[in-house]
Amino acid sequence: MKVFYCHNCHHQVFFNNTHCENCNALLGYEVENKTMGTFEQVDELVWKSLHPKEQGTLYKPCYNYHQHQVCNWMIPADSEHIYCESCRLTHTIPDLSFPQNTLYWRRLEQAKRRFLYLTQQLNIFPRPKKNDDDRFGLRFNFLMPLPDQPIMTGHQSGTITLNASEADVVHREKTRLDMQENYRTVLGHFRHESGHYYFDIMTHLYPEWLDEFRLYFGDERMDYAQALEEYYQNGSDEQWQDFYISRYAGAHPWEDWAETWAHYLHMMDTLDTAYHTGMNIEANHQIDPDMHFKESPIGSLDFEHTLTNWFALSYALNGLNRSMGLQDAYPFTLSNAVLDKLRFIHRTLLKVALKPEIRASDEIDSNMM
Protein backbone atom coordinates (compact mmCIF):
# COMPACT_ATOMS: atom_id res chain seq x y z
CA MET A 1 0.00 0.00 0.00
CA LYS A 2 1.13 3.51 -0.74
CA VAL A 3 2.21 5.98 1.91
CA PHE A 4 -0.35 8.78 2.34
CA TYR A 5 0.09 12.30 3.69
CA CYS A 6 -2.26 14.92 5.03
CA HIS A 7 -2.71 17.75 2.51
CA ASN A 8 -3.18 20.21 5.35
CA CYS A 9 -0.14 19.59 7.57
CA HIS A 10 1.83 17.06 5.46
CA HIS A 11 2.10 14.48 8.23
CA GLN A 12 1.70 10.79 7.38
CA VAL A 13 -1.82 9.38 7.56
CA PHE A 14 -3.10 5.85 7.17
CA PHE A 15 -5.66 4.04 5.06
CA ASN A 16 -8.23 3.55 7.83
CA ASN A 17 -7.91 7.04 9.32
CA THR A 18 -10.91 9.36 9.46
CA HIS A 19 -8.91 12.37 10.64
CA CYS A 20 -5.27 13.44 10.78
CA GLU A 21 -3.77 12.63 14.17
CA ASN A 22 -1.56 15.73 13.92
CA CYS A 23 -3.90 18.52 12.77
CA ASN A 24 -7.31 16.81 13.11
CA ALA A 25 -8.26 17.50 9.48
CA LEU A 26 -10.96 15.25 8.01
CA LEU A 27 -9.74 12.37 5.85
CA GLY A 28 -11.31 10.01 3.34
CA TYR A 29 -10.27 7.71 0.54
CA GLU A 30 -10.84 9.01 -2.99
CA VAL A 31 -11.38 6.00 -5.24
CA GLU A 32 -10.91 7.93 -8.49
CA ASN A 33 -7.54 9.30 -7.38
CA LYS A 34 -6.43 6.19 -5.44
CA THR A 35 -5.38 8.33 -2.51
CA MET A 36 -6.35 9.45 0.96
CA GLY A 37 -7.82 12.92 0.64
CA THR A 38 -7.89 15.74 3.19
CA PHE A 39 -11.06 17.80 3.50
CA GLU A 40 -12.63 20.91 4.95
CA GLN A 41 -16.26 20.43 5.96
CA VAL A 42 -18.63 22.82 4.17
CA ASP A 43 -21.68 21.21 5.71
CA GLU A 44 -22.59 17.74 6.95
CA LEU A 45 -22.69 16.19 3.48
CA VAL A 46 -20.41 18.48 1.50
CA TRP A 47 -16.66 18.40 2.05
CA LYS A 48 -14.11 20.43 0.10
CA SER A 49 -10.86 18.78 -0.95
CA LEU A 50 -7.64 20.39 0.30
CA HIS A 51 -5.54 18.65 -2.33
CA PRO A 52 -3.61 21.39 -4.16
CA LYS A 53 -4.35 19.81 -7.55
CA GLU A 54 -8.11 19.55 -6.99
CA GLN A 55 -8.80 23.26 -6.39
CA GLY A 56 -11.58 22.76 -3.86
CA THR A 57 -13.36 19.86 -5.56
CA LEU A 58 -16.46 18.88 -3.56
CA TYR A 59 -17.07 15.41 -2.15
CA LYS A 60 -19.54 13.79 0.21
CA PRO A 61 -18.80 11.05 2.76
CA CYS A 62 -20.28 7.62 2.18
CA TYR A 63 -23.57 7.11 4.04
CA ASN A 64 -21.90 4.45 6.19
CA TYR A 65 -19.16 6.96 7.00
CA HIS A 66 -21.32 9.73 8.45
CA GLN A 67 -24.16 7.53 9.78
CA HIS A 68 -22.41 4.44 11.16
CA GLN A 69 -18.67 5.27 11.23
CA VAL A 70 -17.84 1.93 9.60
CA CYS A 71 -16.41 3.44 6.39
CA ASN A 72 -14.03 6.26 5.41
CA TRP A 73 -14.48 6.44 1.64
CA MET A 74 -15.65 9.50 -0.27
CA ILE A 75 -17.96 10.07 -3.23
CA PRO A 76 -18.02 13.01 -5.67
CA ALA A 77 -20.60 15.48 -4.36
CA ASP A 78 -22.64 15.33 -7.58
CA SER A 79 -22.84 11.53 -7.62
CA GLU A 80 -26.28 9.92 -7.57
CA HIS A 81 -24.99 7.34 -5.10
CA ILE A 82 -25.04 7.69 -1.33
CA TYR A 83 -22.81 4.67 -0.77
CA CYS A 84 -19.16 4.44 -1.83
CA GLU A 85 -17.82 1.84 -4.25
CA SER A 86 -16.88 -0.43 -1.36
CA CYS A 87 -20.17 -0.23 0.54
CA ARG A 88 -22.18 -0.72 -2.66
CA LEU A 89 -20.73 -4.22 -2.77
CA THR A 90 -22.16 -5.07 0.65
CA HIS A 91 -25.60 -6.61 0.22
CA THR A 92 -26.44 -7.82 3.75
CA ILE A 93 -25.08 -6.75 7.14
CA PRO A 94 -25.53 -8.22 10.64
CA ASP A 95 -28.49 -7.19 12.76
CA LEU A 96 -27.35 -3.91 14.34
CA SER A 97 -29.83 -4.21 17.22
CA PHE A 98 -27.09 -6.34 18.81
CA PRO A 99 -24.37 -3.85 19.87
CA GLN A 100 -21.40 -6.11 19.14
CA ASN A 101 -22.52 -6.54 15.53
CA THR A 102 -21.62 -2.94 14.68
CA LEU A 103 -18.06 -3.66 15.80
CA TYR A 104 -17.94 -6.86 13.74
CA TRP A 105 -19.37 -5.04 10.72
CA ARG A 106 -16.73 -2.31 11.08
CA ARG A 107 -13.92 -4.87 11.17
CA LEU A 108 -15.33 -6.70 8.14
CA GLU A 109 -15.60 -3.48 6.16
CA GLN A 110 -12.04 -2.47 7.05
CA ALA A 111 -10.72 -5.76 5.76
CA LYS A 112 -12.90 -5.52 2.64
CA ARG A 113 -11.58 -2.04 1.82
CA ARG A 114 -8.02 -3.28 2.18
CA PHE A 115 -8.80 -6.15 -0.17
CA LEU A 116 -10.47 -3.79 -2.65
CA TYR A 117 -7.56 -1.35 -2.58
CA LEU A 118 -5.30 -4.08 -3.96
CA THR A 119 -7.82 -5.09 -6.62
CA GLN A 120 -7.81 -1.45 -7.70
CA GLN A 121 -4.03 -1.53 -8.09
CA LEU A 122 -4.33 -4.78 -10.06
CA ASN A 123 -7.06 -3.30 -12.31
CA ILE A 124 -9.59 -5.96 -11.29
CA PHE A 125 -11.85 -3.87 -9.02
CA PRO A 126 -15.26 -5.60 -9.01
CA ARG A 127 -18.63 -3.94 -9.47
CA PRO A 128 -21.86 -4.70 -7.57
CA LYS A 129 -24.13 -7.46 -8.83
CA LYS A 130 -27.14 -6.02 -10.63
CA ASN A 131 -29.28 -9.09 -9.94
CA ASP A 132 -28.93 -12.77 -9.09
CA ASP A 133 -28.27 -13.66 -12.74
CA ASP A 134 -25.44 -11.13 -13.17
CA ARG A 135 -22.42 -13.42 -13.54
CA PHE A 136 -19.78 -10.68 -13.48
CA GLY A 137 -20.85 -8.54 -10.51
CA LEU A 138 -19.96 -9.23 -6.87
CA ARG A 139 -21.82 -8.88 -3.60
CA PHE A 140 -21.00 -9.59 0.04
CA ASN A 141 -23.31 -10.97 2.71
CA PHE A 142 -22.11 -10.54 6.30
CA LEU A 143 -24.25 -12.81 8.46
CA MET A 144 -24.26 -13.79 12.12
CA PRO A 145 -25.15 -17.41 12.88
CA LEU A 146 -28.15 -18.30 15.01
CA PRO A 147 -28.58 -21.41 17.17
CA ASP A 148 -30.66 -23.08 14.45
CA GLN A 149 -29.01 -21.34 11.50
CA PRO A 150 -25.26 -21.81 11.09
CA ILE A 151 -23.44 -19.63 8.56
CA MET A 152 -20.82 -21.09 6.25
CA THR A 153 -18.24 -18.75 4.74
CA GLY A 154 -18.09 -19.34 1.01
CA HIS A 155 -18.71 -18.16 -2.55
CA GLN A 156 -21.45 -18.97 -5.01
CA SER A 157 -22.19 -17.27 -8.34
CA GLY A 158 -20.68 -13.90 -7.45
CA THR A 159 -21.98 -13.81 -3.87
CA ILE A 160 -19.44 -14.09 -1.06
CA THR A 161 -20.93 -14.93 2.33
CA LEU A 162 -18.83 -14.35 5.42
CA ASN A 163 -19.67 -15.57 8.89
CA ALA A 164 -19.50 -12.27 10.77
CA SER A 165 -18.29 -14.15 13.85
CA GLU A 166 -14.90 -14.27 12.11
CA ALA A 167 -14.56 -10.61 13.17
CA ASP A 168 -14.56 -11.82 16.79
CA VAL A 169 -10.90 -12.41 17.64
CA VAL A 170 -11.64 -15.10 20.22
CA HIS A 171 -13.98 -17.02 17.90
CA ARG A 172 -11.54 -16.81 15.01
CA GLU A 173 -8.57 -17.99 17.07
CA LYS A 174 -10.54 -20.90 18.52
CA THR A 175 -11.63 -21.89 15.01
CA ARG A 176 -8.06 -21.63 13.78
CA LEU A 177 -6.88 -24.00 16.50
CA ASP A 178 -9.81 -26.39 16.02
CA MET A 179 -9.12 -26.52 12.27
CA GLN A 180 -5.36 -26.92 12.86
CA GLU A 181 -4.62 -23.88 10.71
CA ASN A 182 -1.48 -21.83 11.12
CA TYR A 183 -3.03 -18.68 9.65
CA ARG A 184 -6.58 -17.29 9.76
CA THR A 185 -7.55 -13.64 9.34
CA VAL A 186 -10.57 -11.68 8.18
CA LEU A 187 -8.55 -10.24 5.30
CA GLY A 188 -7.46 -13.76 4.38
CA HIS A 189 -11.12 -14.79 4.04
CA PHE A 190 -11.77 -11.98 1.58
CA ARG A 191 -8.75 -12.91 -0.48
CA HIS A 192 -9.51 -16.63 -0.50
CA GLU A 193 -13.20 -16.30 -1.41
CA SER A 194 -12.40 -13.72 -4.07
CA GLY A 195 -10.25 -16.38 -5.72
CA HIS A 196 -13.41 -18.37 -6.45
CA TYR A 197 -15.10 -15.26 -7.86
CA TYR A 198 -12.21 -14.41 -10.18
CA PHE A 199 -11.90 -18.05 -11.23
CA ASP A 200 -15.49 -17.92 -12.46
CA ILE A 201 -14.85 -14.67 -14.33
CA MET A 202 -11.74 -16.07 -16.01
CA THR A 203 -13.47 -19.24 -17.13
CA HIS A 204 -16.43 -17.25 -18.53
CA LEU A 205 -14.30 -14.70 -20.39
CA TYR A 206 -11.32 -16.84 -21.43
CA PRO A 207 -12.28 -20.54 -21.47
CA GLU A 208 -8.98 -21.41 -23.17
CA TRP A 209 -7.27 -20.30 -19.95
CA LEU A 210 -8.42 -23.55 -18.31
CA ASP A 211 -5.96 -25.66 -20.31
CA GLU A 212 -2.97 -24.07 -18.62
CA PHE A 213 -4.79 -23.89 -15.28
CA ARG A 214 -5.19 -27.67 -15.27
CA LEU A 215 -1.46 -28.16 -15.82
CA TYR A 216 -0.76 -26.57 -12.43
CA PHE A 217 -3.88 -27.11 -10.31
CA GLY A 218 -5.47 -30.25 -11.73
CA ASP A 219 -8.87 -30.92 -13.27
CA GLU A 220 -11.50 -28.77 -11.58
CA ARG A 221 -14.25 -30.96 -13.07
CA MET A 222 -13.68 -33.60 -10.38
CA ASP A 223 -16.63 -33.93 -7.99
CA TYR A 224 -16.27 -31.08 -5.49
CA ALA A 225 -18.58 -32.43 -2.76
CA GLN A 226 -16.94 -35.84 -2.87
CA ALA A 227 -13.46 -34.32 -2.79
CA LEU A 228 -14.30 -32.25 0.30
CA GLU A 229 -15.87 -35.25 2.03
CA GLU A 230 -12.72 -37.27 1.44
CA TYR A 231 -10.57 -34.38 2.66
CA TYR A 232 -12.48 -33.98 5.93
CA GLN A 233 -12.52 -37.74 6.50
CA ASN A 234 -8.94 -38.56 5.58
CA GLY A 235 -7.05 -35.26 5.62
CA SER A 236 -4.23 -34.40 3.24
CA ASP A 237 -1.41 -36.51 1.93
CA GLU A 238 1.59 -36.51 4.27
CA GLN A 239 3.66 -34.89 1.52
CA TRP A 240 1.17 -32.09 0.88
CA GLN A 241 3.79 -29.36 1.37
CA ASP A 242 5.58 -30.54 -1.77
CA PHE A 243 2.57 -29.57 -3.89
CA TYR A 244 0.30 -27.15 -2.01
CA ILE A 245 0.49 -23.88 -0.10
CA SER A 246 -1.76 -25.26 2.66
CA ARG A 247 -3.40 -28.51 3.72
CA TYR A 248 -6.78 -27.27 2.55
CA ALA A 249 -5.42 -26.50 -0.91
CA GLY A 250 -5.11 -30.25 -1.48
CA ALA A 251 -8.85 -30.79 -1.12
CA HIS A 252 -9.79 -29.83 -4.69
CA PRO A 253 -8.30 -27.77 -7.59
CA TRP A 254 -10.77 -24.95 -6.85
CA GLU A 255 -9.48 -24.69 -3.29
CA ASP A 256 -5.89 -24.98 -4.46
CA TRP A 257 -6.47 -22.01 -6.77
CA ALA A 258 -8.25 -19.97 -4.08
CA GLU A 259 -5.58 -20.65 -1.46
CA THR A 260 -2.74 -19.84 -3.87
CA TRP A 261 -4.58 -16.76 -5.16
CA ALA A 262 -4.96 -15.52 -1.58
CA HIS A 263 -1.25 -15.98 -0.96
CA TYR A 264 -0.40 -14.12 -4.14
CA LEU A 265 -2.48 -11.19 -2.85
CA HIS A 266 -0.77 -11.45 0.56
CA MET A 267 2.60 -11.20 -1.17
CA MET A 268 1.65 -8.32 -3.44
CA ASP A 269 0.13 -6.18 -0.70
CA THR A 270 3.03 -6.73 1.70
CA LEU A 271 5.69 -6.15 -0.95
CA ASP A 272 3.83 -3.09 -2.23
CA THR A 273 3.89 -1.61 1.27
CA ALA A 274 7.62 -2.34 1.56
CA TYR A 275 8.18 -0.75 -1.84
CA HIS A 276 6.34 2.46 -0.99
CA THR A 277 7.95 2.80 2.43
CA GLY A 278 11.41 2.54 0.88
CA MET A 279 12.42 -0.67 2.64
CA ASN A 280 15.55 -2.55 1.57
CA ILE A 281 17.28 -5.55 3.10
CA GLU A 282 21.00 -6.13 2.68
CA ALA A 283 21.90 -9.75 3.35
CA ASN A 284 24.73 -10.34 5.84
CA HIS A 285 25.56 -13.73 4.35
CA GLN A 286 26.16 -14.57 0.72
CA ILE A 287 23.57 -17.35 0.65
CA ASP A 288 20.81 -15.20 2.16
CA PRO A 289 18.42 -13.27 -0.12
CA ASP A 290 18.35 -9.50 -0.04
CA MET A 291 15.50 -7.20 -0.97
CA HIS A 292 15.76 -4.25 -3.28
CA PHE A 293 13.19 -2.93 -5.70
CA LYS A 294 13.78 -2.03 -9.32
CA GLU A 295 10.06 -1.70 -10.06
CA SER A 296 6.72 -1.90 -8.31
CA PRO A 297 5.93 -5.51 -7.38
CA ILE A 298 2.39 -5.08 -8.72
CA GLY A 299 2.50 -5.94 -12.39
CA SER A 300 6.25 -6.52 -12.21
CA LEU A 301 7.88 -7.66 -15.43
CA ASP A 302 10.58 -9.56 -13.53
CA PHE A 303 8.54 -11.81 -11.25
CA GLU A 304 11.59 -13.90 -10.32
CA HIS A 305 13.10 -10.79 -8.75
CA THR A 306 9.79 -10.18 -6.97
CA LEU A 307 9.89 -13.71 -5.56
CA THR A 308 13.44 -13.17 -4.32
CA ASN A 309 12.29 -10.00 -2.60
CA TRP A 310 9.44 -11.93 -1.00
CA PHE A 311 11.78 -14.58 0.40
CA ALA A 312 13.96 -11.88 1.97
CA LEU A 313 11.02 -9.94 3.38
CA SER A 314 9.16 -12.96 4.77
CA TYR A 315 12.34 -14.28 6.43
CA ALA A 316 12.89 -10.88 8.05
CA LEU A 317 9.26 -10.52 9.15
CA ASN A 318 9.25 -13.98 10.71
CA GLY A 319 12.50 -13.30 12.50
CA LEU A 320 11.22 -10.00 13.87
CA ASN A 321 8.00 -11.61 15.07
CA ARG A 322 9.94 -14.34 16.86
CA SER A 323 12.01 -11.65 18.57
CA MET A 324 8.78 -10.24 19.94
CA GLY A 325 7.54 -13.65 21.09
CA LEU A 326 4.88 -13.74 18.35
CA GLN A 327 3.95 -16.34 15.77
CA ASP A 328 5.48 -16.14 12.32
CA ALA A 329 3.95 -13.43 10.16
CA TYR A 330 4.10 -15.77 7.16
CA PRO A 331 4.11 -19.38 8.42
CA PHE A 332 4.25 -21.10 5.02
CA THR A 333 6.71 -22.93 2.79
CA LEU A 334 6.79 -22.21 -0.93
CA SER A 335 7.71 -25.39 -2.78
CA ASN A 336 8.71 -25.41 -6.44
CA ALA A 337 5.20 -26.58 -7.37
CA VAL A 338 3.64 -23.68 -5.45
CA LEU A 339 6.06 -21.20 -7.01
CA ASP A 340 4.97 -22.38 -10.45
CA LYS A 341 1.35 -21.75 -9.47
CA LEU A 342 2.20 -18.25 -8.27
CA ARG A 343 3.99 -17.57 -11.56
CA PHE A 344 0.88 -18.70 -13.42
CA ILE A 345 -1.32 -16.33 -11.41
CA HIS A 346 1.07 -13.46 -12.09
CA ARG A 347 1.09 -14.20 -15.84
CA THR A 348 -2.69 -14.37 -15.77
CA LEU A 349 -3.00 -10.95 -14.17
CA LEU A 350 -0.48 -9.41 -16.57
CA LYS A 351 -2.63 -10.60 -19.45
CA VAL A 352 -6.00 -9.57 -18.08
CA ALA A 353 -4.70 -6.16 -17.01
CA LEU A 354 -4.53 -5.38 -20.73
CA LYS A 355 -8.18 -6.37 -21.16
CA PRO A 356 -10.43 -3.95 -19.26
CA GLU A 357 -13.43 -6.29 -19.42
CA ILE A 358 -11.91 -8.36 -16.59
CA ARG A 359 -12.75 -5.46 -14.29
CA ALA A 360 -16.38 -6.57 -14.57
CA SER A 361 -17.39 -3.13 -15.76
CA ASP A 362 -20.83 -2.31 -17.09
CA GLU A 363 -19.64 -2.77 -20.65
CA ILE A 364 -19.39 -6.52 -20.10
CA ASP A 365 -23.14 -6.91 -19.95
CA SER A 366 -23.69 -5.99 -23.58
CA ASN A 367 -20.52 -7.64 -24.85
CA MET A 368 -20.44 -10.90 -22.94
CA MET A 369 -23.84 -11.79 -21.47
pLDDT digits (tens, 9 = 90+) for 167-185: 999 999 999 999 888 899 9
pLDDT digits (tens, 9 = 90+) for 258-310: 999 999 999 999 999 999 999 999 988 888 899 999 999 999 999 999 999 99
Task: Give the pTM.
Answer: 0.93
Does 361 score more than 50 pLDDT? Answer: no
Q: How far apart are CA 219 and CA 352, in angstroms?
A: 22
What is the pLDDT at residue 318? 96
Mean pLDDT of 102-131: 95
Task: Read off φ and ψ for residue 361, nearest 5 degrees.
Answer: -75, 170
- Considering the chain, what is the average pLDDT of its residues? 93
Mean pLDDT of 204-224: 95
The pLDDT confidence band at residue 356, using thresholds 50, 70 and 90, is low
pLDDT digits (tens, 9 = 90+) for 28-48: 999 999 999 999 999 989 999
What is the pLDDT at residue 359? 56
Does 252 score more than 50 pLDDT? Answer: yes
Does 198 score more than 50 pLDDT? Answer: yes
The pLDDT confidence band at residue 327, using thresholds 50, 70 and 90, is very high
